Structure 1
């Protein structure tokens, strides 16, 4: 989908199948998951090459930060989807020239919609591609900051769940009973799953910050001669904001590692409890086994030897002695 915006706001245009050219007065061309026809239409109208998704997904810096022969810049960075149900990384791209900006993205981003609203409200104040680029990056940084704040709250809640983990089931302030091993196991699994999800999300936020951290100074240095007195300080502010968010994310990662160690400690405690029970059960069986092995049960007067069903009786005792521990373990929830 192609969205065109001029200094005053959105510009109506014909689709790629209608044969009409795109309006030349557009200073921001926003491409959302563009088709090949849409990319060719933009290239024909503005003389700018639109990079493919594969090109934007390249990881080396030389592919993400490039100066074009036409004098513009080709930029790309991974960006989280801001979908809290399932964070994902998808590339976003910028083709920036002195007169206009082309953005390429493959998922909805609230930052772009906010910028479109701000352009309409400013009524002609956004006349350059650099100005719109600054607005977009500022909104993306704000979105990442909000995401980190929400994740910080989630980590605080996760910390409470870990350090308040109590195998004793309670109703209000009254003790009801001990949680079954299965329920404790399920609770610990949920803790580990939450820690893993937080770690995955933090890693993707870090990748997004790293991409913006490289782009901002590159654009500032490349466009220094075109920046006005207000735009240059905004680049510096963005760099400081990104650095502070990067430091905050590092602290969150350290906290997450601490919580992971604590959760693994709880799991070790539960495992030790299980081994303790098994040890007690095995120790209980050792004295009878020792006595039986010493005498071999080879006494002269053993009534069972004269029974017709003595042999089935012995087999039944063997089976029963094996079944009783299994039944007890099932009742206790150990297995």
Structure 2
């Protein structure tokens, strides 16, 4: 038996082989392949030399396969079909049949703003898909975690990225200011002097991007008082209820927390820019249909019911 090194084998020769098998005629094979008859004949000669077998001989009804050709046709057809399927790509993403876990790194604000609606949508459309929310990583770990697939998406504040990362805006987060209901404030906008005098429950901005509140105050030559720094948004209204401190929360959830913790909602004393949250992924997954579907579901969940 001949030892054939497939690394040096022209795959086009195998395509010619299968076409000759199916047409049993050099002329018809050349027409199907859009090649000249001489090119087909030359390909057959090369394949005969490589395999040390005639493969096809002339018969009354056309080309007849040799035993070696009969032995080869099944495996060659299967190999070419598998290669063709691989080059065409995976089957279209079908949420209802997919079994997959998506890993999203994000802060707790995403769990309140987006996750409930996202999980409801996924449960309806893709019952075997699971979403796992992971802690927001250190900034210098973001690119490697996305590249190696440990994390599918990261959702956070816009920031510097590498050329290998993609990003898209997900949601704008306007802020409202919360304070004790028993203060009895009736005005929609919180007074600036009270905002500056009263200590604030502040979210630790480590790895969360710029602080639009302090930047806006600083531009006016002002600064707020820090009463306490916390790691997650959920702690802010709890502490505000107990202390009388001020806290600033996304408008999408501020009223819910205000009712729960006996706080009142107000427009901030200055017009703070609404922070944006972006989704990040690595460009090696640009063609991942499942990831594209997840991003679509996230955007729909962020836009509300």
Q: TM-score range by the shorter chain?
A: under 0.3
- Of structures 1 and 2, the one scoring higher in RCO (CA 8 A, sep 6+) is 2
Greater share of residues in helix: 1
Q: TM-score, normalised by structure 1?
A: 0.21
